[in-house]
Structures are given as C-alpha cells and as structure tokens.
Amino acid sequence: MDVIVPLAEGFEEIEAVTIIDVLRRAGIGVTAVFLKKNPVTGSHAITVTADKNIDDIRSSDFDCVVLPGGMPGSSNLKDDPRIISLIREMSGSDKITAALCAAPLVLGHAGVLRGRRATCYPGFEAQMTGATPLPDPVVRDGTVITGKGPGCAIPFALELVAVLAGKDAAESLKENMQVYWMQPDE
C-alpha cells in the first residue's frame, strides 16, 4: 500500500506528522508532497521537508490520499487544481480519500462527499458540500475517511491503518504505541 500526503503552506503539523508516522510504523509507504516550495511551513511555524514535488507523482501509483487540515493549509489545498484533480482521480478509481480537521472541505469542494457521512473541525460542516455531518471523532463511509481535529489524529491514522493494512495491524500498532483513547461520555 502506498499513500500520498500533500503538504500545503499552513498545514496542521500534529496531523501531518502523526499521519505520516503512524502509517510508516505500520509498514505502509508514505510520500509527502509539496505544492510550491520545500520545506513546507505549517500553521504553527514548524517546517517539514516533503519527499517529492506534487508534479512528480501520478495518482495511479498510490492507493490512498490523506489530507492534513489546518488553516490556511486546507484552503491552499482546496485552491490547488492539482489536488482537486488528484482527489477526483483517486475517488473515481475507488481508492481511499481521507481528510482531517478542516481538510474535509477540500473533499467537499472536489465533490467526493455527496451522499456520504463525514466529520470535520466544528464550524466547517457547511463546507463539506453534499455530506451529512456527524460529530464523531472519525467517520468512515465507504472509501472516504474523515476526522474531526488535531486531537483525533492518532485514531484517524489508526483507522487508515485498519483499512489499508487490516484491523489486526491497527490493533497491534495501537497496543505497541500505548494508545488509550477516551471516548466522550454518552
């Protein structure tokens, strides 16, 4: 399995690094790509060096695209036609499209949330065009996976592992990482 993680200026650092780290711990290939310049600066002034330029990859080489959120990172992803094209190509090929925090607005803009359940950072629900918003930390609806915010980065990444490498791999990684997720009171 191979995953692409696009990094746009202003991305949420916790989300991007957690996604990349957890997937790599599970033995999943991850390629972080930059859109304009490398290294890429996140929303909290932390710079991350991406692996490749987005112009040097093809959607056919990947099984999944995962968008970290953050602002203005999510807006920068939404405004980049290469990202919208990548999402549409991958969704059209029944590949996993995933987004965390504010980034589900990019999936909405690309048209892949129509008729699906999804979650996002509070306040961005209306921008998840076509989706039924849920308050859950992580939502999977078919080939679309969405997460609510930075505090949900590990459960979101573990859901990606479960889908891409199997539930046993996700459970093993959860145990090895000593992840204890506190569920909200019912």
Q: Which residues are catalytic?
A: 101
Evaluate whether 110 touches 80 at the Cβ level (below 8 Å). Answer: no
* Exposed/middle/buried for residue 119 (C-beta within 10 Å: 0-12, 13-18, 19+): buried
Evaluate whether 172 touches 162 at the Cβ level (below 8 Å). Answer: no
Evaluate whether 173 touches 22 at the Cβ level (below 8 Å). Answer: yes
Which residues have a Cβ under 8 Å from the Cβ of 2 and sit 6 or more positions away?
Answer: 28, 29, 30, 31, 61, 62, 63, 64
